[in-house]
Structure 1
């Protein structure tokens, strides 16, 4: 009987314990953790989402960490110059020279507390795309991604000394002023938001169906008609197989009023479209800037800058005659 009790104890007590530890307990622990991690990334702004804006950045192969660090510092520098935004961690000089140590410590602790509570959000946040040589720099108001890119590129184009160039690893910048889902409705919403300041848009059919015709008419009366201009659409699709390039172009063009014509060779404006995974982002740039600033390629602008030309060896006599 003693042996029977031992068998019952081993079979009834040991085996269920293993099942509980290896199966049921593990399943309950993993799923919430995964969900919590995704939610945490969204809350911290380290994942791309609808309503975001920022800059797609391409960089030199193998320079992931250095390129993000370099561009983050550059963004902080320009944000301070253009918008007066003090970079995080930078000390602000006090007007009170006789401020005691205790007050100084309290002010610093208050700043740390605000960050921990989520009251202070960074103006820039780099998001790794999971694809080689590309990351997204998310921006917050009042930063205008297009203005920021344009200023960076203009400064690179007039650099007189390559020893003072601000970037070594950054290549092309693509501003994004509107982000939405990479779906039919999402593309339309992103287009309307990004293009509204530059083009007259076709009226949304949904307004008429919902009986909001009077509201739309009032809005159109209040808006100033945009000058007629030509445009070209330049799409880029990464890690997405659901959107066809030609279909995407036609869908965006259908949002623009027929007053504005497509011109693939000499357009007045260029519509930049970036599709990444399940998101679609857009912005509009003047063609003159697009061409003169080498499609916003910072590295190429430095190579063509006055500083680069000054460092080039003088051509030989035979080469001068040939040229």
Structure 2
């Protein structure tokens, strides 16, 4: 007797008869759970006004490794320069095996998300944050870290070859003394806060448009002379500001990402317009001071770095500094032609 049982047909479009599962957060660098992001060492976030920190560019698709690498480097230098150590890292290492997975994930997430007062209360000195842009991180810092001097020391050691641990995935470091709102009023407020200790912010003087144009035209070297030196001396004597308000040249270096509000020309004009251009001249070739302005989404950060170090340290590019140190070491290791002839 023939069987009345009929075999069900496989669903159309699937030859195996089994539904195809969609894998999220898998291997295609698509969406990832908070747990996966925490395992990588960072969470996506934003940069907010009132913060300070360091921009970090890194190798593509290596943001997680770069975050762990740069935080380890920063913690090492924080201990060397300031005698401070990330609180609780020894206890966390000892408790890793005993702590259950859920509690561990929650602890890490809370630590990574901590910002401002929360981060301070938790004792975090460095908090890496992944931006919504490839190859870019922001590491929030807090006192006693001073981003400009901190980054300069790291780069000096990279150049001399004295750095204990070299980074593999980190490229460039850009220190930010303070962060404000990415609007014209926010930019001006931030500039007054950051620049006031170094520059006379009594405003641009009439008649010197060539020194602070939107494109920062190169200053005519014929303007330098005895009259300029006399004016600079007079300005220094007459200045009632702090001793740091000595005559110096400067250049403004803006960088803009994911923002359509602040334009390059606007940034340069607004910042330069605050500075007394009789006391501080623009020099794009060899400025005494470089004003770094970094705009990302709704935030703008600013800092002042020494022009000599900025150029000597390859604009704080660790990759180039490591290469230079390697080449220098190879050259020093080669016997000279004169020594070879003597033998």
- TM-score (normalised: structure 2): 0.63
Aligned with 2:251 (options 219, 232, 245): 232
CA distance in 1, matches of 2:54, 2:244: 29
Root-mean-square deviation (Å): 3.0
Structure 1 residues 195-233: Cα deviation after superposition (integer angstroms, max 9, x where no partner) = 1121111269xxxxxxxxxxxxxxx95744611111000
- Which residue pairs with 1:244 in the alignment? 263
Q: Secondary structure at the match of 2:157?
A: helix
- The 3-state SS of whatever aligns with 1:143 is coil
Give the conservation status (yes or no) of the 8 Å contact 2:44–2:132.
no
Deviation of 1:45 (Å): 11
SS of the residue 2:122 aligns to: coil
Residue 292 (structure 2) aligns with: 272
2:77 is aligned to 78
Instruction: Show the counterpart of 1:156.
Output: 158
**1:120-148, Cα deviation, whole Å (9 max, x unpaired):** 23011111111010110110011000011
Matched residue of 2:247: which SS?
coil
- The 1:90/1:283 distance shift into structure 2, 3 A limit, reads same
3-state SS of the aligned residue for 2:174?
strand
Q: CA deviation at 1:267?
A: 1.2
Contact 1:274 1:280 in 2 (8 A): yes
| TM-fit CA distance, 1:310 | 3.3
Q: What is the aligned partner in structure 1 of residue 133 from structure 2?
A: 131
Residues 138-161 of structure 1: CA distance to partner in whole angstroms, max 9, x if unpaired?
100110000110011001001169
- The superposition leaves residues 56-114 of structure 1 with CA deviations (integer Å, 9 ceiling, x where unpaired) of 0001112111000000111111111111111233449xxxxxxxxxxxxxxxxxxx9xx
- State whether residues 73 and 165 of structure 2, in contact with CA within 8 Å, keep that contact through their aligned partners in structure 1: no
Name the CA distance, whole Å, in 1 between partners of 2:261 and 2:66: 30
Aligned partners of 2:180 and 2:187 also within 8 Å: yes
The residue correspondences of 1:105-144 to structure 2 (distance < 5 A) are 118=118, 119-144=121-146
Shift of 1:165: 4.0
Q: Which stretches in structure 2 are left out of the alignment for 5+ residues?
A: 1-42, 92-106, 205-238, 338-343
Contact 1:46 1:125 in 2 (8 A): no
Distance 1:45 1:52 in 2: 16
- Tell whether 2:165 aligns with 1:145: no
